[in-house]
């Protein structure tokens, strides 16, 4: 291992020890909302946040209209999720906190899902923006197991307009599903007009249209189910992507993990068909994005609107012999797309390391809200204004809970990946970007200890101590 990296690791290890001493423990975030900013509400920008479900970067890059959208703004090529699983990731987006702080460790009870998130609902990006004069709307998926343990018509604080899938008794994602429509629980069936992405598109456009001519800025959180399994697509897109295959990258049907059998030809054929379904389901998300931008333009809001597009986590589609699996630390799972367009946003790409815990603070800063020290992320607003902060993070922390008391960790820097699961993994991501050669045995004990010190500091951090 290069001496310069070894020296850097030792420095980071020492820094991590100090951070660990300064870190607070877990627990629920403060329920208090920030004080309103004196900036008039009408002067604040609109924010549209489009959050897909299980969208990996390779699939996003196969979407032509999405890429056209991305080329008109700033793409974060090193954007990671704090936890590669739906509910914990979405909780991190809404609160700006790592899972060990917001307490949503899994998709279902007792350690995850909606019930675990209830303690955080009093202080989310929705309550902050509503308190600052925004009109807020959530359309689509809120969080797993919503609204288990609450009234079926329950609406969380901070939302003026609510059209959320009732996933606690969900029997379908794209057809045959239930929705809480501003307190009324309604059933959508199997007719073509019930296709969930189209219903959500209509609802989002109606929300934008209803705000026409009004001074309040809007915050639209738009969360379609696509491309999550079963990746059901609208019939109009059934003939598209007929020749697409699962990504044939060096890690496809390859693995350095012991005991993982090769994929059979039948499984590979299945993966290829699954990929075509995923892309077809995403075509309706492209329709959604087009319709939202058209509505913003028609109502005179587009030039004052930031539009964000991302995913809650990625997924393995044959890489490392994974069959549509997440909740692991491979690059294809923890790295997701982030595309942003809006007023003053530069056109191009940035390789700055970013995490989805950064989004809440980014929205807050764009809205002119006071700086919050209780959040774990860092604002990306400077990048959206064409400026890079004088100092920025040099690594990204990712965590996952296989069981409530079984925390696993990963650390990603521009060159190195370090992970602790059932085994320790070290990859040189410049020489081995597909994570096929574990260097753990070639890494010195001192360097492994430095990695571990660094990751342990993150694992106990809270607020400002998560932002060294």
Q: Please state, as a whole number, how many other Cβ atoms lie within 10 Å of the Cβ of residue 347.
A: 12
Other C-beta atoms closer than 10 Å to the C-beta of 129 total: 26
Would you give the distance in Å from CA 353 to the centre of its chain? 14
Q: Is the dihedral of CA 9, 433, 398, 425 positive or negative?
A: negative
* Angle at the Cα of 30 from the Cα atoms of 394 and 86, rounded to 5 degrees: 60
Cis bond leading into 131, ω under 30°? no
Q: Could you identify the residue written with the tokens 């995923």?
A: 278
Is the distance from CB of 417 to CB of 433 less than 8 angstroms? no
Q: How far apart are CA 56 and CA 273, in angstroms?
A: 16
User: Known catalytic residue: 461?
Assistant: no
Q: Strand 416-420 vs strand 406-412: parallel, antiparallel, or unpaired?
A: antiparallel
Residue that the structure tokens 């359309």 belong to: 139
Structure tokens at 386: 């064409």
Among 23, 86, 461, 466, the active-site one is 86
Distance from the first to the final alpha carbon of the chain: 24
- Cα separation, 315 vs 327, whole angstroms: 8
Which secondary structure element, helix H or strand E, spans residue 381, and what is its range? helix 381-384
The CA distance from 256 to 267, in Å, is: 19
Eight-class DSSP state of 103: -
The pLDDT of residue 39 is 60
Three-state secondary-structure class, residue 220: strand
Tokens at residue 325, please? 């699996």
The tens digit of pLDDT for each residue in 65-112 reads 999 999 999 999 999 999 999 999 999 999 999 999 999 999 998 899
E strands, 197-275, where?
A: 218-223
SS3 category, 402: strand
- Weakly modelled stretches of the chain, pLDDT under 50: 1-38
Distance CA 243, CA 234 (A): 18
Place of tokens 């989310």: 124
Q: How far apart are CA 75 and CA 227, in angstroms?
A: 20
For residue 175, CA distances in Å to 165, 170, 232 come to: 11, 10, 8
Q: DSSP letters of 325-374? A: E-SS-SHHHHB--EEEE-TTPPSEEE---EETTHHHHHHHHHTTPPP-SS
The torsion angles phi and psi of 65, rounded to 5 degrees, stand at -75, -35
Strand partners, 315: none
CB-based contact 174:230 (threshold 8 Å)? yes
Is residue 120 a contact partner of residue 28, using CB atoms and an 8 Å limit? yes
Q: Is the peptide bond before 394 cis (omega within 30 degrees of 0)?
A: no
Instruction: Considering only CA atoms, give the Rg of the chain.
Output: 21
What is d(CA 160, CA 179) in angstroms, rounded to the nearest whole number?
16
What does each C-alpha distance from 130 to 141, 142, 369 come to in angstroms? 20, 17, 11
Contact 2, 445 (CB under 8 A): no
Distance CA(379)–CA(190), nearest Å, equals 42
Question: How far apart, in whole angstroms, are the C-alpha atoms of residue 172 and residue 190?
Answer: 10
User: The dihedral of CA 82, 402, 317, 274: what is its sign?
Assistant: negative
Please give the Cα distance from 57 to 78 (Å, whole number): 10
Q: Domains of the chain by range and CATH?
A: 3-13+45-415+426-466 (3.40.720.10)
- Give dist(CA 292, CA 206) in Å, integer: 10
């Amino acid at each position: 291992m290069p001496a310069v990296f070894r020296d850097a690791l030792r420095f980071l290890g020492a820094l991590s020890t100090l951070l660990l001493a300064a870190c607070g423990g877990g627990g629920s975030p403060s329920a208090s909302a920030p004080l309103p900013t004196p900036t008039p509400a009408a002067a604040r920008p609109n924010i549209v946040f489009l959050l897909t479900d299980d969208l990996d970067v390779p699939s996003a890059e196969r979407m032509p209209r999405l890429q056209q959208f991305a080329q008109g703004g700033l793409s974060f090529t090193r954007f990671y999720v704090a936890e590669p699983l739906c509910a914990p990731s979405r909780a991190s987006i809404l609160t700006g906190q790592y899972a060990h702080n917001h307490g949503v460790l899994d998709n279902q009870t007792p350690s995850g899902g909606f019930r675990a998130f209830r303690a955080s609902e009093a202080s989310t990006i929705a309550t902050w923006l509503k308190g600052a004069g925004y009109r807020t709307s959530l359309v689509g998926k809120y969080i797993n197991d919503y609204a288990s343990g609450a009234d079926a018509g329950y609406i969380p604080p901070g939302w003026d307009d609510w059209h959320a899938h009732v996933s606690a008794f969900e029997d379908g994602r794209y057809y045959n599903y239930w929705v809480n429509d501003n307190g009324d629980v309604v059933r959508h069936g199997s007719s073509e007009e019930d296709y969930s992405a189209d219903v959500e598109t209509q609802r989002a456009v109606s929300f934008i249209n209803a705000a026409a001519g009004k001074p309040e800025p809007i915050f639209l959180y738009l969360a379609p189910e696509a491309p999550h399994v079963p990746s059901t697509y609208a019939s109009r897109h059934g003939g598209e992507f007929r020749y697409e295959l699962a990504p044939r990258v060096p890690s496809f049907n390859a693995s350095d993990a012991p005991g993982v059998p090769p994929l059979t030809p039948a499984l590979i054929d299945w993966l290829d068909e699954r990929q075509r379904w995923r892309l077809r389901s995403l075509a309706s998300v492209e329709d959604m994005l087009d319709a939202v931008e058209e509505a913003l333009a028609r109502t005179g809001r587009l030039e004052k609107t930031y539009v964000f597009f991302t995913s809650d986590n990625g997924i393995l589609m044959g890489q490392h012999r994974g069959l549509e699996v997440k909740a692991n630390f491979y690059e294809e799972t923890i790295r997701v797309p982030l595309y942003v367009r809006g007023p003053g946003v530069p056109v191009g790409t940035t390789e700055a390391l970013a995490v989805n815990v950064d989004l809440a603070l980014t929205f807050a800063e764009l809205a002119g809200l006071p700086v919050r020290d209780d959040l774990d992320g860092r604002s990306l607003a400077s990048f959206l204004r064409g400026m890079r902060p004088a100092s920025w993070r040099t690594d990204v922390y990712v965590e996952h809970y296989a069981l409530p008391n079984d925390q696993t960790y990963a650390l990603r820097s521009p060159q190195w990946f370090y992970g602790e699961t059932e085994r320790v993994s070290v990859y040189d991501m410049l020489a081995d970007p597909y994570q096929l050669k574990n260097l753990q045995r070639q890494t010195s004990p001192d360097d492994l200890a430095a990695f571990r010190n660094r990751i342990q500091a993150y694992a106990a951090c809270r607020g400002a101590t998560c932002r060294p």
